Structure 1
């Protein structure tokens, strides 16, 4: 029997008022029999729990049996539940702890702020990963969290996009960022000259990791939010290395937001000029590599034509030719 679970039952009763044994079991992830047993143990310790029989009945505490946290207004109570939205806490293996913490804080609130917090919790839900993809698995995330909090050096085997793809790094982890359901480690890596360069590592690309006994001091002037904003700005600058002139049908333009990045959509809106009387437009858009751009524009099929540059137009023609030959076989 867990003393922590008994405390959770007590706080659940304190925050909800009246709860059935089944409701307690579902909230805490235990069997109904275990919920009944925990309620009996609470009563045995002197906690004034009593049962209300009949339809809509359940277990509740005697009026006035609660501790109160004063000084919290409705806005702060609302913010409390934004901080506890599911997603990142589950990724970190802290879902149970987050639930327990929310119950403790909710139980300590006076009636007004408690009701406001409960209303906020009922109307917001976060599902971080994007459509059309499964949530990424990051088995080394808890280890990296521990290294960040204890300021210990980690040694990782990491898979990157450029050659050599598999590298080893000795890192000083400064912080973790979650963006669209994907976790990134911000860390300083030691160079051959014994200097450190801060870089960003996608946690799912960590193939192996171990925490060393060596500790480090996180620079006092390092701000994770400022670094991340700068990193995103730099990423966008490096991401688009060229431009292309394209022609889009009316149908292709309608499909654009579902198939291409928002930067491309904005460029079409800003530069589109009519070509012909059938609704087609011509626009200049930013591009990444030729191979990447070819893959993206092929999604629109016959609703797009690449006008320039020549290498992208040729890549599209070559790919379509290969497809035509493959599907033309009998």
Structure 2
């Protein structure tokens, strides 16, 4: 977490401990913090009303609520839903659940850049399509979907448009009105806020039941006492990442990417980018193919050298299954699926960190390849 976020949360835990639903002084004080924080966050995506922001436990709950509850509420309109093959598991497993309930789901394919075709989307829309859920930016390869164009297309249909913006929020500009987004999911820890907190943007007028049943918090849209210290910390994180800071971080992370790739290649390490190094992509994620080196060997040795990397999403990193994103982009038999690593950068990283990573990777890969060569001989 960012230091100002920690300081804000510490202050709130000591000074604002009332329940925001209570009518006494301590409750009203907590309610004031809740309302102020909601306003800051609502402005960050240009909502029409502050109460279009519903606080949740994070991206997973936001995705589940947006997809499952909106589909259940609209089943009289239709039972067809559209998504992509490279969504986060929180979206894909929600889709699987809908399929179990008898809904039909269309999974749009992606190209080797990790992007869908807008023509495929247009062709897939039907009269009974009730929801389109497409991520703003991919968490494994950093590809960005044309959210603005998708919003224009979906807005002319019967469907609602949901975007999982967990990776993108805090790094790119999002305007829910201009982009015609109906539902949007985020998670606070992706912009150096607290874990186990996020929000669901829910356009005013969209009616569906809450996923969690209980009290009447969040205007009866999400039961459970609001976590005021975490919410205040989330708002502080949003204040830090203003438009100029977003651009600065994107430039910084793009520089890290080039430094890492150039450094490896100058050391004669054969490496290729999965996806592309497009200036509009999410710059904090870099997925690299290390030809002839197993991901397991690389990950083990990186960990021993104090480097945290993964073979896919952090939510599936403990799995031995190949990345569903790389499989969708290159095919299940491609060596990229078994020889690639995902690196992600944060605002606290430095060029010295990247230089250390280059040296560590060079030593590991050289050793792995020597071992393979000795085995062949």
Same-fold status (TM-score > 0.5): no
More strand by share: 1
Q: Which has the higher contact order (CA 8 A, sep 6+)?
A: 2
**TM-score, normalization by structure 2:** 0.20
Structure showing greater radius of gyration is 1
